[in-house]
A and B are shown apart, each in its own frame.
Chain A
Amino acid sequence: MFLYEHEGKKIFAEHNIPVPPSGVAFSPEEALEIAKRVGYPVVVKPQILGGRRGKAGAIRFADNDDELMKHVNELFALELHGEKVERLLIEKKVNIVHEYYLSYMLDFYERRPIVMFSTEGGIEIEEVARTKPEALVKKYLDPEMGMTSFIAMEVLNKLNIRGAEAKKFVPIFLNLWKAFKEKDLLLAEINPLVKTAEGEIIAVDARVMVDDNSEYRQKWIKEFKEKRKGKESLEYQAKEKGISFVVLDGDIGVIGNGAGLTMATVDLVREFGGKPANFLDIGGGAGPERVFTAIDLLLKLGNVKVILMNIFGGITRCDLVAQGILEALKKLNLNIPLVVRLTGTNEEQGRKMLEEAGIKAYTNMIEAVKKAVEIGRGGE
């Protein structure tokens, strides 16, 4: 899960990485209060999870209440990269002398952490790698030993940062590593890490990704997740019930069992000219409740014209899936067609249950997908 900038900065601050004084505003009133507390001039930054803000002109500066209100109202009305802006970070503006880049990430394939440092901060690191590779140091680390003072010095020296100047950076290198490892992070990026006119080194942005699998030992993740809104919130509710749910933009609801099969089903809908509304994996060995919840979630999306269900029963039993569908028919106001493909363990039983309720169950996945796409088109 990616964290909002302000959530990332909270983790940084806990690990003694200096960040500018700031606060998160969910309303213009809150924004004013925060500005009063940290003092003008301030920077106003929309908190979104994906995409870049700078290029979209969404990072604003304000010297007084009037300017602040103008920006805040404009930004709250904005949608950036498909995300509605719901929270703004109001932050004390710092006097930047130079921008650097520092990050740790896990290389999944090599199964090792990497540190990256650059004297060219403030732009995407891929661009630096392309246009000015000599300003970038990339180094694999031993996961157990991690970052040490001497490795930090080596990295800094490579980019001609030496002596007292270099020494200022070392604690940031060490503290960020500590946060990275202790908090089960997959990415901890400071871009830019800035040197201020006062000679301080401060983290001005935070891009942090945490491992969802670590939730049982990182209790703080839950707290952040519960505050999410919109589609993020629906997806989170699903996850709490053992369902993987990703909202897409089409109108054909897709339910499958197993991530690969469900992704393949979404792709097939697309392949035959339909628009998938979502990805929803009920997981292995799902019982009637999870099937019921899945259908309920798709109805909550509001724009689904037809539900396509693709079940390959291995560990999952087709009769239990059918039972879940029948319960949904009975208890939910299911006024959209349902196309079901059911095969595998106890399929005869499952199919019979559905047929008695007037639902034809396909055995062939391609036929079922084509049917769903056809219905989806018919409704336009």
Chain B
Amino acid sequence: MTVLVNKDTKVIVQGITGREGSFHTKLMLEYGTKIVAGVTPGKGGEEVHGVPVYDSVRDALDHHEAQASIIFVPARFVEDAVMEAIYNGLNPIVVITEGIPIWTTMKLVSEAKKRGIYIVGPNCPGLIVPGEIKIGIMPGHVFTSGDVAVISRSGTLTYEISKVLSDHGFGQSIVIGIGGDPVKGLTIPEALRLLESDPRTKKIVIIGEIGGVEEEKAAELIKKGEISKPVVAYIAGKHATMRTGVSFGHAGAIILGEMGRPETKIRAFNEAGVPVARLPTEVIDHLRTL
């Protein structure tokens, strides 16, 4: 048993007939993910890499059992797709799509919360339990199975750091890419709480970045003693302080006045006893000493 998903979780791909959806369906299948159906309105009856396509989530669920959804539909159609997943009780819902208006995300997350459903993302690489299941777009080969959990606001930096972890014998219990948007489903503090009760996770790596207050809220939680497992952090964007009010690639990576500054995040972690790696590669040095 692990958090959010396990090797038996059955998955629906929404937006399966698009370029990204189809490409990653193939990669997820190769990784061993149990994708039972795809959904694209108007494409019911087709097949993508041997996966049957339906017009609606409802129709897919009438023919297959499934728990989770991964969503690739373009930003302007995402509201409908996520609502559909929520109303049909899929959980978790992993939203890969980038570029969703923040007001829309706010509405979707609020709907999901009312029903106790987890949204991961949007604008995220998804999640992977190495060796078991991948609901996402990350390159599977850089991850190895182990007991270090990774929570990250980034994509490629997660692959980079996970590879360093793997190369040095620190396998991962789960890697969750929570995404780069300012408003999102699963946040760092929420992910920490889930991992605290995950028996397979012994240590946690947080890959944060400038913008927002999630790192500070996470540090607060740790300081209060609600997270007992050792945590190591890395913060990207330390040099971004010279351009405030501008997004660095991720919509959420933005310093607004006093909010979202890297030094505040680093200080908060330090005060909570969380070592912050200066270089991404230094994460392993801290893991060794914890």
Name A residues whose Cβ lies closer than 8 Å to a Cβ of B: 2, 49-50, 106, 108-109, 111-112, 126, 143-144, 181, 184, 186, 209, 211-214, 216-217, 235, 244, 246-249, 256-264, 266-271, 276, 279, 281, 284, 312-315, 344-345, 365-366
Contact = CB atoms under 8 A, between A and B. Distances in A.
A23 B158 CA distance: 49
A260 B250 CA distance: 8
Contacts of B107: 143-144
A258 to B, nearest CB: 3
Contacts of A211: 101-103, 251
A246 B213 contact: no
Given A258-B154, A260-B156, A213 B210 contact: no
Interface in B154-205: 154-160, 180-183, 187
Contacts of A271: 278-279
A257 B158 CA distance: 12
Contact of A314 (B156, B209, B251, B278): B156
A248 B243 CA distance: 7
Given A260-B152, A264-B280, A184 B258 contact: no
B137 interface: yes
Contacts of A256: 156
B135 to A, nearest CB: 15
A238 B55 CA distance: 36
Nearest to A143: B106
B189 to A, nearest CB: 9
A261 B237 contact: no
Nearest to A283: B249
Contact of A279 (B139, B187, B248, B257): B248
A259 B249 contact: yes
Most A-side CB within 10 Å, residue of B142, B183, B252: B183
Given A260-B155, A260-B158, A276-B239, A366 B244 contact: no
A106 B154 CA distance: 22
Most A-side CB within 10 Å, residue of B76, B247, B249, B251: B249
Interface of chain B, helix or strand or loop or mixed? loop
A50 B248 contact: no
Contact of A213 (B153, B243, B248, B251): B251
Interface size of B as a range:
35 or more
A63 B250 CA distance: 46
A368 B15 CA distance: 39
Nearest to B242: A248
B133 interface: no
Contact of B155 (A144, A216, A269, A284): A284
A267 B243 CA distance: 14
Contacts of A263: 157, 209-210, 236-237, 239-240, 248-249, 253
Contacts of A106: 102-103, 106, 183
Nearest to A249: B242
B62 to A, nearest CB: 32
Contacts of A49: 245
Contact of B103 (A143, A244, A281): A143
A207 to B, nearest CB: 10
Interface in B211-257: 212-214, 217, 234, 236-240, 242-253, 257
Contacts of B246: 235, 246
Interface of B: 75-76, 99-103, 106-107, 109-110, 137-139, 142, 152-160, 180-183, 187, 207, 209-210, 212-214, 217, 234, 236-240, 242-253, 257-258, 278-281
Interface of chain A, helix or strand or loop or mixed? mixed
Contacts of A365: 160, 280-281
B154 A266 contact: no
Contact of B248 (A111, A209, A244): A244
Contacts of A261: 154-157, 160, 236
A379 to B, nearest CB: 20
Contacts of A276: 239
A279 B249 contact: yes
Contacts of A144: 107
Most A-side CB within 10 Å, residue of B152, B156, B278: B156
Nearest to A268: B279
A268 B281 CA distance: 11
A163 B100 CA distance: 42
A106 B182 CA distance: 10
Contacts of B110: 111, 143
A208 to B, nearest CB: 12
A108 B182 contact: yes
Contacts of A244: 247-249
A260 to B, nearest CB: 3
Contacts of A212: 247, 251
A124 to B, nearest CB: 9
A31 B207 CA distance: 50
B207 A184 contact: no
Nearest to B239: A270
Nearest to A105: B256
A248 B239 contact: yes
B100 A213 contact: yes
A259 B153 CA distance: 10
Contacts of B236: 260-261, 263-264, 267
Given A244-B247, A260-B207, A213 B237 contact: no
B240 A259 contact: no
Contacts of B183: 106, 108, 111
Nearest to B182: A108
Given A184-B102, A244-B248, A109 B239 contact: no
